[in-house]
Amino acid sequence: MNLLKMSFKPIADIGEFGLIERISSIVSSSLESSPKLIEGIGDDCAVYELSSGTFQVVTTDLLIEDIHFDLLTTPVQHLGSKALSVSVSDICAMNARPCYALTSIALPPKTPVEFVETLYRGMNETALLYNMALAGGDTSSSKNSISISVMVAGEVEKNHITYRKGAEPGDLVCVTGSLGGSAAGLKVLMREKNLMLEHIRNGEQYDRDLMNNLGEYDKAISQHLLPPARVDIVAFFEKHMIVPTSMIDISDGLASDIAHICKMSGVGAKIDESRIPILPQARLIADEFQDEALNFALSGGEDYQLLFTIKPDKFDTIASHPDISVIGKINPENEGLLLKDIYGMNIDLLSIGGYSHFRE
Ligand SMILES: [Mg+2]
C-alpha cells in the first residue's frame, strides 16, 4: 500500500459511527468464524459463550489526555476511578457482573511516579467497590500525552443477558438516577479552568481549588468526575427476577442512546419530557450559562446511568425503586422516535444529536 498514492478521506467526514461501520465490515469474517462469539461489534460489550453455559461479556475503553480528560480539572485519583467505572458501566448495560479488568497506560517519561500511584489507587478503590480484580495490563512510554486503556470482563447467566436489541412495542422505557449532571458539572469545571488560566496569565493569585472544594455544584461536578457504574441496579434486577428487554448505558446522551436501542430493536419510542429525571443542580447551572438543562440530559452524555426497557407487568416492581424513573414507551418503528415536550408537542428526537468523536 503506497500511502502517497492513496486518496484520503478524513475520518471527520464519516464520524465515529461511520468509522465503526467500516471497521466492522473489514473484521466481520473473523467474527463469523468464531461459533462461541454470540455478539461482536454493535452492543455495549462483546458476548462469548463459556463452556459452563454462562456468557462472558467483554468491553474496552480508551481515555486520552485532553480528549477524554483534562488534568487541570480532574483529580488523578478520580481519573483512575472513572476510567474503570465507564467500562464497568458497559458490563452493567449487558445485565452482567464485572469480574476483572486489565488496564494499560502510556506515559511521557517525565510523569511523576506519584501520579501513577494515585491513579492506580483510584482504580483499586473502585475495583473493591465493584467486587472485581485488577488482574494486569501493560505500560508504555508516550511522547506527550497520557493514554489509559481499560478492558473489563464480566459474566452473566445465559438467560439474563440483555442486549440493545429486544425492545418491543408496549414496553416501558426506564432510566436510573438523574441526567444532565455530568455535562453541567463539566461546564462549571471548564469555566473555573479558564478563570484560573486567566489569573495565571495576568500574574494574579488564584486560590480556589474547585476540584477539592466542589462548592454549591458538588453533585453535578461529582457526577462528571466520579460517575458510578450501576452494579446496584443489576443486583436489583437479579433480586426481583427482572430481565429488561433491552438496555444501554448513557454515554452519549439520552437522545442518541435511546436511538441506539430503537435502531437495534427495530422499534420507535415516545419519551415524555416531564418524566426525564434531571439533576436539580443541572437546572441551576443551565440558568447560569443561559442553556437548557434538557439539552444536557439529551445530548450532554457521560451520565453513565442505565437506560432500559421492561414489559409493562414489571411496572410495580420498577416503580418501587426510588432511583428508577419510567420516562416513556416503545412504539412501532413507523411511529418514529419522539419527545413529547412539556407543552404536549411531539419533537423528532433523531434531530437532537449526541456526542460523537472525530466531528470537528
Ligand atoms: Mg455503552
Asked if 210 and 240 sit in the same domain, the reply is yes
pLDDT at 196: 85
Instruction: Tell me, yes or no, whether 357 lies in a domain.
Output: no
| Count of alpha carbons within 13 angstroms of residue 46, beta-carbon side | 16
DSSP conformation class of 329? E
Cβ neighbours of residue 309 closer than 8 Å, sequence gap 6 or more:
166, 167, 168, 171, 172, 173, 174, 244, 245, 246, 247, 261, 265, 330
- For residue 84, how far is its CA from the centre of ligand 1 (angstroms)? 13
Instruction: Tell me, yes or no, whether 295 lies in a domain.
Output: yes
DSSP alpha helix (H) spans, 215-341: 218-225, 231-239, 254-265, 280-288, 293-295, 315-319
Q: Which portions of the chain are predicted below pLDDT 50?
A: 360
Instruction: Tell me, yes or no, whether 296 lies in a domain.
Output: yes
Residue with cell 468509522: 19
Asked if 118 and 179 sit in the same domain, the reply is no
Asked if 49 and 92 sit in the same domain, the reply is yes
165: helix, strand or coil: coil
Asked if 200 and 325 sit in the same domain, the reply is yes
Asked if 250 and 106 sit in the same domain, the reply is no
CATH number at residue 287: 3.90.650.10
Cα distances from 126 to residues 89, 123, 183, 221, 334, in angstroms, run: 12, 5, 22, 18, 43
Residues 273-305: tens digit of each pLDDT = 999 999 999 999 999 999 999 999 999 989 999
pLDDT at 210: 61
Strand ranges, E, within the chain: 37-39, 46-49, 54-64, 97-107, 133-141, 147-157, 172-176, 246-249, 267-272, 306-310, 324-332, 337-340, 346-348
Domain that holds residue 196: 172-351
Asked if 108 and 226 sit in the same domain, the reply is no
Instruction: Tell me, yes or no, whether 266 lies in a domain.
Output: yes
Asked if 191 and 309 sit in the same domain, the reply is yes
- For residue 92, how far is its CA from the centre of ligand 1 (angstroms)? 9
pLDDT at 358: 52
- For residue 91, how far is its CA from the centre of ligand 1 (angstroms)? 8
- For residue 260, how far is its CA from the centre of ligand 1 (angstroms)? 10
Q: Is 355 exposed, middle or buried (0-12, 13-18, 19+ CB in 10 A)?
A: middle
- For residue 153, how far is its CA from the centre of ligand 1 (angstroms)? 14
Residue at which a domain ends, from 138, 160, 182: 160
Instruction: Tell me, yes or no, whether 167 lies in a domain.
Output: no
Asked if 49 and 113 sit in the same domain, the reply is yes
- For residue 125, how far is its CA from the centre of ligand 1 (angstroms)? 22
Q: Which residues pair with 16 in a beta bridge?
A: none
Asked if 122 and 192 sit in the same domain, the reply is no
- For residue 72, how far is its CA from the centre of ligand 1 (angstroms)? 26
Residue at which a domain ends, from 137, 160, 183: 160
- For residue 305, how far is its CA from the centre of ligand 1 (angstroms)? 10
Instruction: Tell me, yes or no, whether 67 lies in a domain.
Output: yes
Residue at which a domain ends, from 160, 181, 210: 160
Q: Can you give the pTM of this predicted structure?
A: 0.91
- For residue 116, how far is its CA from the centre of ligand 1 (angstroms)? 26
Give me the number of domains the chain comprises: 2
- For residue 266, how far is its CA from the centre of ligand 1 (angstroms)? 19
Asked if 193 and 126 sit in the same domain, the reply is no
- For residue 332, how far is its CA from the centre of ligand 1 (angstroms)? 24
Provide the sign of the torsion angle of the four alpha carbons 232, 237, 243, 244, taken in this order. Answer: negative
Instruction: Tell me, yes or no, whether 253 lies in a domain.
Output: yes
> Quick one: CA torsion of 51, 55, 57, 58, rounded to 10 degrees?
10
- For residue 207, how far is its CA from the centre of ligand 1 (angstroms)? 38
- For residue 89, how far is its CA from the centre of ligand 1 (angstroms)? 7
CATH number at residue 139: 3.30.1330.10
- For residue 191, how far is its CA from the centre of ligand 1 (angstroms)? 28
Residues 163-190: tens digit of each pLDDT = 999 999 999 999 999 999 999 999 999 9
Instruction: Tell me, yes or no, whether 165 lies in a domain.
Output: no
Residues 37-46: tens digit of each pLDDT = 888 888 889 8
Asked if 219 and 293 sit in the same domain, the reply is yes
Asked if 192 and 337 sit in the same domain, the reply is yes
| Count of alpha carbons within 13 angstroms of residue 305, beta-carbon side | 28
Q: How far is it, in rounded angstroms, from Cα 92 to Cα 162?
A: 9
Q: How far is it, in rounded angstroms, from Cα 70 to Cα 340?
A: 36
- For residue 249, how far is its CA from the centre of ligand 1 (angstroms)? 5
